[in-house]
Chains A and B, each alone.
Chain A
Amino acid sequence: MAIKVLTEHINVPGIETFDVYRKQGGYTAVEKALKTMTPDEVVEEVKKSGVRGRGGAGFPMGMKWSFLAKPEGVPRYLVCNADESEPGTFKDHYLMKTIPHLLIEGMIVSSFALGANKSFIYVRGELMYVIHILEKAIAEAKAAGFLGKNILGSGYDLELVVQPGGGAYICGEETALLESLEGKRGNPRNKPPFPAVKGLYQCPTVVNNVESIATTSWIVNHGGDAYAAIGIGRSTGTKLISASGHINKPGVYEIELGLPVEDFIYADEWCGGIRPGHKLKAVVAGGSSVPILPANLILKLGNGDKRLMSYESLSEGGFQTGTMLGSGGFIVFDETACIVRNTWNFSRFYHHESCGQCSPCREGTGWMEKVLHRIEYGHGNQHDIDLLVDVARRIEGNTICPLGDAAAWPVASAIRHFRDEFEWHITNPHEATQPGAVFKGDMALV
């Protein structure tokens, strides 16, 4: 039986209410931490767990916490990143709406560890209904004495504020999020200084993803070592995967890291295979930003071994043959999907969402969208593919925040692995623009 760190009780009727959540063992981590542990001991357990940030970058959470500056008399802040706007990612949405107290409990434990007395949950504004769910959960927790002044008689005070965004993917980038939380446009900040030193209101701040924070209750209850025993190598623990696209069972799955990709796609427990009568063509494994891989490369490593759902295995082979776990947005394409159209669609997304601060990203994303649009609509020319590669290369690494990289990688990887398909659009524009026309090359379908 696979271990479920986050979703064990998710199907219990009424789990969104305080009473039911409490009956299932909820808020014991708050009791344990506040009554029997020091903040540093909580940080130590999180370090030992090896849990890595689940928002996309995979940075070790305990290490991030230990960087937090602690000058005398200056407040510190914990900010939960619930902006979830990366195409293909919908796990935080699911977790918050279904089991909101898991996040609230994690926020209390984490805020205690960091010495924060006011913490924020920044939720993308479109999820206003989820904001109401969280606010209700907070009110319940407060009424039960788990929030507010002198929690459980420990002398520790905490107030939680749920903040709505306004519709902007860039505000998922942590410094843009902080700008937004201060009531400004979401333009990412130059780093250094890092948020750990100068974050919200120029005070030391930790920003963590919803899933990362939700994990801390289990770690406090069971210990960091127990968490580190789950998973594989440096990919400890479990991960929520948002599965979408041409599969039989789209949804959010909590997997133990190290599960073979093949099992995740084909086994009934998870995606349940490709929809009937179709074959696997490609996968974007970690949200729209990560490189797309064709079927053979996502399933197998260069040495023929199975590729696993872990940070290391997914990135094995670098960008030549690998990709990234990212936020765990797992988008599956069967042979009916047009890679050119999808790449154009993603480029339009990044162009739309670029904050416009850095010219390589502002201009480059628009340029890529335009060129991809003309290829898709039958007006591409022979130089366009190299032009795209060139523009992508000039964006990458040349911007304040990684949105530029996130825009460049999908284009570069689609061309790397599906160049034939782009060429076909350019050399057969009439055929390629027929309704429903899809390139049928000799690519491996599984």
Chain B
Amino acid sequence: MTTETKPTIQFTPDRLEKAKEIIARYPEGRQKSALLPLLHLLQEQEGWTPAEGMDYVAGLLQIEPIEVYEVATFYTMFHINPVGKHVIEYCRTGPCCLMGGEEVYAHLRQRLGIEAGQTTVDGQFTIKEVECLAACGMGPVFQVREKYYTNLTNERVDEIIDELSK
């Protein structure tokens, strides 16, 4: 058995640069504060937060891997299982529902042929139900990566899916 193995997942050079900048912005000895930003960086690179990536982040922050896992599993944004290319994070909370959110959601699931938590067979789309996205005045709403899609209708959903499928 080798003692030092190279992590199977590492940040790209520019992301590593960014990670170092992030770590440096907290006071001495408080580097663990960089954990959430680094998990976001990992997910942005990998599309999800695989265990090898979390171990790598633990190494960068000189903390135990369990400290990363317990945080990644607490916060809903981190995908601890593989997901499709586009994760549709659909708001299921009251104000969006008042604006027809449930009907539009049914249409989305029908269009993609999947339910919440599932991925289409071509690996393109995953649906994830999320709680309020702080955009209630523009509901129904879903989010794909950083982008908010607002004032959704069935037609609008079809357009967005077509666009993302290209």
Contacts and interface: CB of A to CB of B under 8 A. Distances in A.
Contacts of A246: 98
| Contact residues of A: prevailing secondary structure | mixed
Contacts of B40: 125, 128, 164, 166
Interface string B86-104: 0001001111011100000
B130 interface: yes
Interface size class of B (residues with CB under 8 A): 35 or more
Nearest to A337: B98
Given A166-B39, A331-B95, A184 B135 contact: no
Interface stretch (A86-94, A108-116, A387-395, A415-423): A86-94
Interface in A91-106: 92-93
A7 interface: no
Interface stretch (A42-50, A60-68, A341-349, A396-404): A341-349
Contact of A89 (B37, B39, B130, B136): B136
A252 B137 contact: yes
A146 B26 CA distance: 20
Given A342-B97, A345-B94, A166 B78 contact: yes
Interface stretch (A19-27, A175-183, A424-432): A175-183
Interface in A147-162: 159, 161
A329 to B, nearest CB: 7
A250 B93 contact: no
Contacts of A75: 27
Residue of B39, B67, B74, B130 contacting most chain A CB atoms (<10 Å): B74
Given A168-B74, A342-B94, A118 B139 contact: no
Interface in B18-66: 25-27, 30, 32-37, 39-40, 61, 63
A182 B75 contact: no
B98 A331 contact: yes
Interface stretch (A51-59, A222-230, A237-245, A306-314): A237-245
Nearest to A86: B132
Contacts, number: 145
A121 to B, nearest CB: 12
Nearest to A181: B33
B131 A87 contact: yes
A61 to B, nearest CB: 22
A182 B33 contact: yes
A421 to B, nearest CB: 16
Interface of A: 75, 84-90, 92-93, 118, 124-129, 132, 159, 161, 163-169, 180-186, 201, 242-246, 250-252, 288, 329, 331, 333, 337, 341-342, 345-346, 348-349, 352-353, 355
Contacts of B132: 85-88, 169, 288, 349
Contact of A242 (B26, B30, B133, B136): B136
A279 to B, nearest CB: 15
Interface of B: 25-27, 30, 32-37, 39-40, 61, 63, 67, 70-72, 74-78, 89, 92-95, 97-99, 130-139, 143, 146-148
Contacts of B143: 126
Nearest to B101: A345
Contacts of B33: 163, 181-183
B77 A167 contact: yes
Nearest to A132: B146
A166 B97 CA distance: 24
Given A132-B146, A183-B34, A201-B27, 15 more contacts: A75-B27, A85-B131, A87-B93, A88-B95, A89-B134, A90-B134, A90-B136, A127-B134, A167-B77, A183-B33, A244-B139, A245-B136, A251-B137, A331-B94, A331-B98
B135 A93 contact: yes
Given A75-B27, A183-B35, A183-B71, A244 B137 contact: yes
A81 B67 CA distance: 24
B75 A250 contact: no
